[in-house]
Chain A
């Protein structure tokens, strides 16, 4: 874990509302090049807020009250609700090309070419090249692919994923996870992955941090953490996943 210089360091990060209610307290973690780290925990445990603070995307009324975030690479974010992350009245390829134009400093024409390449990279249908479409005309999974393409257009060193599969169908979830994994292998970006789905977190990330009420209560290498949870909250999280009945019977025999 300490092999390379960290590209993202979070030290004693504390967030609170302007009224003074503490939301996240003393969160520490660091991320090396190409590493992936999972933040898991129940809703309201502060994992999304921690992630958003990296980009300075805190909602109005929430402030950073302590600690430091150090990062020397660009980061880009994938959101939970793909439709909400796209301008509903702007065709998707145009939105994508716009990000390329501003982030990669290329001409308008080149930005469109790069945008089309990104479409291909993400396995979006070829018909989009001929006829641009609005987000409402695409499925949730396709919208999420566009959002990922927009994030990649920023050439990020760190990809921040805020529950990118929660709003999608189960079958599509798998495809999106596979796509993100493939892209990470191809492009080598580091990743912070926020989710409450332990199965996804453990396949995507080598390290997991379990958050509860704004604090990291346990951290460790994914598999050992799941197999041998120390903190009672981690144990509870693991047991709260409903097992498939078929498998349960099979294991019992």
Chain B
């Protein structure tokens, strides 16, 4: 029977094997895990402190002692780079949690119930989309004072919209499928249908969106740091590092280039993970 054959195929092809068959996911995950590992174990990787100054050794080129050289205050660039990864990645992940949850939930409500619920939620999302994202970020950042708070507040305010839009569309299309109708006629309460049946079906797509959205958020964090309204100085951050190095761009170009490359690296890693996950789930 073709059923048993199908069973065998799916049983043999375990999760690990399916990941190995998706190169973009594999490469992306390795890149991202490496980054997380470096950020977490930063104190064990480098002998220096991120704010440790050495005014006798400023603006040094890369050497065996200072792998990426030193900045204008004689701080080790590599140390600052990996400590900045800690700050930036932590904010990136934490700021996404609440918007991710509220966005999915509101999107499912709008898509499932339709009618006035959908009208209200769509109205709010469309209104927020009319404002340029950076305008809101900068206004909130100024209003709440420089630092991480502005990023968190802005993201709780507007971060959910992208997830709400994606899950709303998906939920509305699942709503038209027979299994949702059938679940309703068989007396399963709406809340249960949303949480037990709709959620697992919209989650994969939402996670893919999460990956690309995190890249956008990281760029926002770095941009705010660069503009001087993000993470406040002594805390290392890629954005402030880029702007600090700007004055020495002709003599010590790596001061700005290295944190820039770090942002690009993270962006590529997350995009690959998102791409790979989309591939993986599409094939299933």
Which residue of B2, B3, B179, B181 contacts A57 across the interface (Cβ within 8 Å)? B181
Mark interface residues in A127-154 (1 if CB within 8 Å of B CB, else 0).
0000001001111001000010011011
Q: Does B196 contact A (CB under 8 A)?
A: yes
- Whether A87 contacts B179 in the complex (CB less than 8 A), given A98-B188, A102-B188, comes out as yes
Cβ distance B117 to chain A, nearest Cβ, rounded Å: 14
Enumerate B61-117 residues with CB–CB distance to A below 8 Å. Answer: 114
How many chain-A residues does the 8 Å CB contact rule pick out?
31
Q: Does A77 contact B (CB under 8 A)?
A: yes
Q: A95 vs B185: C-alpha distance in the bound complex, in angstroms? A: 14
Residues of chain B within 8 A (CB-CB) of A136 are 284
Which residue of B3, B7, B197 contacts A87 across the interface (Cβ within 8 Å)? B197
Contact B182 A102 (CB under 8 A): no
Cβ distance B81 to chain A, nearest Cβ, rounded Å: 41
Q: Is the interface of A mostly helix, strand, loop or mixed?
A: loop
Contact A153 B178 (CB under 8 A): no
Q: Does B10 contact A (CB under 8 A)?
A: yes
- Whether A90 contacts B196 in the complex (CB less than 8 A), given A84-B177, A139-B1, A139-B3, comes out as yes
Contact B186 A153 (CB under 8 A): yes
Residue in A closest to B204 when the chains form the complex, CB atoms: A89
Mark interface residues in A55-83 (1 if CB within 8 Å of B CB, else 0).
11101100000000000000011010100
Q: Does A88 contact B (CB under 8 A)?
A: yes
Residues of chain A within 8 A (CB-CB) of B189 are 102
Cβ distance A43 to chain B, nearest Cβ, rounded Å: 17
Which residue of B182, B192, B200 contacts A89 across the interface (Cβ within 8 Å)? B200
Contact A59 B176 (CB under 8 A): yes
Q: Does B201 contact A (CB under 8 A)?
A: yes
Contact B10 A137 (CB under 8 A): yes
Chain A residues with CB under 8 Å of chain B are 55-57, 59-60, 76-77, 79, 81, 84-90, 98-99, 102-103, 133, 136-139, 142, 147, 150-151, 153-154
